[in-house]
Chains A and B, each alone.
Chain A
Amino acid sequence: MASEVVDATAPKPRGGRFCTVCNERRAALKRPKTLEQICKECFYAVFEDEIHRVIVDNHLFKPGERIAIGASGGKDSTVLAYVLSELNIRHGYGLDLFLLSIDEGITGYRDDSLETVKRNEIQYGLPLQVVSYKELYGWTMDEIVKLIGLKNNCTFCGVFRRQALDRGAALLKVDKLVTGHNADDIAETVLLNILRGDIARLSRCTSITTGEDGPIPRCKPFKCSSVFNLLIDSFEVGPLTCSSRIYSPNAYRGFAREFIKDLERIRPRAILDIIKSGEDFRISTSTKMPEQGNCERCGYISSQKWCKACVLLEGLNRGLPKLGIGRTRGLNNERNKDMKATNGTKALQSKQCGTLDF
Chain B
Amino acid sequence: MSCNSGTCESGCYREEYSGDDVRHDRPLVTGNGQESNGVSSRGGDSNSPRLCIKCKVNENIVSTHPSVAAGGGDCIRFCADCFRSNLFGKFRFAVTSNAMISPSDNVLVALSGGPGSSGIDEMKLIVSSLAPPSKQFFVIPTESIYSPDCAAGRDQLTKLASAVSDVTGKEDLVEHLRMLSLQKIATENGCTKIVLGTCTSRIACHVLEATVKGQGFSLSADIQYVDARWEIPVVLPLRDCLSEELNTLCNLDRLKLLLHDGSFFYCQDSLKTIDVLQQPRSGINGLIASFVKLLQQENPSRESTIVRTAGKLTPFCFNRIPEVGDDNGHLASQRRQKKYNLKPNESLPPESFCIICNSPLKKTGSATFNDIDNGETRAAAACSSCQYQIFPKDPSSLEYLFTPPSVNECTGKGWQYQP
Contacts and interface: CB of A to CB of B under 8 A. Distances in A.
B30 interface: no
Contact of A280 (B217, B298, B299, B308): B217
User: Which of B167, B283, B309, B384 counts the most A-chain CB atoms under 10 A from its CB?
Assistant: B309
Nearest to A2: B167
Given A194-B208, A259-B287, A1 B213 contact: no
Interface string A1-33: 111100000000000000000000000000000
Contacts of B214: 272-274, 276-277, 280
Contacts of A287: 312
A282 B208 contact: no
B287 A199 contact: no
The contact size tier of chain B is 35 or more
Contacts of B168: 267
Interface in A247-273: 251-252, 255, 259, 262-263, 266-267, 269-270, 272-273
A267 B291 CA distance: 16
Contact of A193 (B298, B309, B313, B347): B309
A279 interface: yes
B385 A252 contact: no
A108 interface: no
A202 B211 CA distance: 12
Given A194-B207, A263-B287, A283-B314, A252 B298 contact: yes
Q: Chain B CB within 10 Å — which of A252, A272, A280 has the most?
A: A280
B212 A274 contact: yes
Nearest to A285: B314
Contacts of B388: 269
The prevalent SS among residues of B at the interface is helix
Nearest to B217: A280
A3 B165 contact: yes
Nearest to A286: B314
Contacts of A274: 211-212, 214
Contact of A273 (B212, B302, B309, B310): B212
A270 B212 contact: yes
A191 interface: yes
B284 interface: yes
B312 A283 contact: yes
A294 to B, nearest CB: 27
B233 to A, nearest CB: 21
Nearest to B304: A197
A354 B68 CA distance: 58
Contact of B220 (A1, A194, A269, A282): A282
Contacts of A197: 305-306, 308-309
Interface string B277-307: 0000001100100010011001100100110
B156 interface: no
A195 to B, nearest CB: 6
A317 B166 CA distance: 56
Given A273-B212, A276-B214, A282-B313, A252 B295 contact: yes
Interface string A93-114: 0000000000000000000000
Interface string A166-202: 0000000000000000000000001101111111001
A277 B210 contact: yes
A197 B299 CA distance: 13
B201 interface: no
Contact of A255 (B211, B283, B298): B298
Interface in A317-344: none
Interface string A196-235: 1111001000000000000000000000000000000000
B299 to A, nearest CB: 7
B207 A273 contact: no
Interface in A274-297: 274, 276-284, 287
Contacts of A1: 165, 167
B85 interface: no
Contact of A263 (B167, B212, B306): B212
A244 B166 CA distance: 38
A2 B314 CA distance: 35
Contacts of A270: 212-213, 284
B211 A251 contact: no
B216 A278 contact: yes
Nearest to B365: A280
B124 interface: no
Contacts of B215: 277
Interface in B168-220: 168, 207-208, 210-217, 219-220
A250 to B, nearest CB: 11
A63 to B, nearest CB: 30
A32 to B, nearest CB: 13
Contacts of B211: 190-191, 194, 273-274, 277-278
B362 interface: yes
A220 B409 CA distance: 53
A4 B291 CA distance: 20
Contact of B295 (A199, A255, A269): A255
A273 B207 CA distance: 13
Contacts of A273: 211-214, 384-385
Contact of A195 (B167, B305, B362): B305
Contacts of A279: 216
A280 B216 contact: yes
A276 B216 contact: yes
Contacts of B312: 199, 283, 287
Contacts of A2: 167, 283
Nearest to A267: B284
A196 B308 CA distance: 10
Given A255-B291, A280-B216, A194 B310 contact: yes
A197 B314 CA distance: 15
Contacts of A198: 309
Contacts of B299: 252
Chain B CB within 10 Å, residue with most, of A197, A199, A255:
A197
A195 B284 contact: no
A259 B302 CA distance: 16
A193 B294 CA distance: 17
Nearest to B315: A282
A111 to B, nearest CB: 34
A262 B283 CA distance: 10
Contacts of A196: 305, 309
Nearest to A279: B216
A191 B365 CA distance: 21
Q: Which residue of B208, B216, B287 has the most chain A CB atoms within 10 A of its CB atom? A: B216
Interface string B9-30: 0000000000000000000000
A90 B217 CA distance: 38
10 contacts: A190-B211, A193-B309, A194-B208, A195-B306, A196-B309, A263-B212, A266-B284, A274-B214, A284-B314, A287-B312
Which 9 interchain pairs have the tightest Cβ spacing? A277-B216, A273-B214, A280-B217, A280-B216, A282-B314, A276-B214, A197-B309, A277-B211, A284-B314
Given A2-B167, A251-B298, A273-B211, 7 more contacts: A190-B211, A191-B208, A198-B309, A252-B299, A273-B213, A278-B211, A282-B314
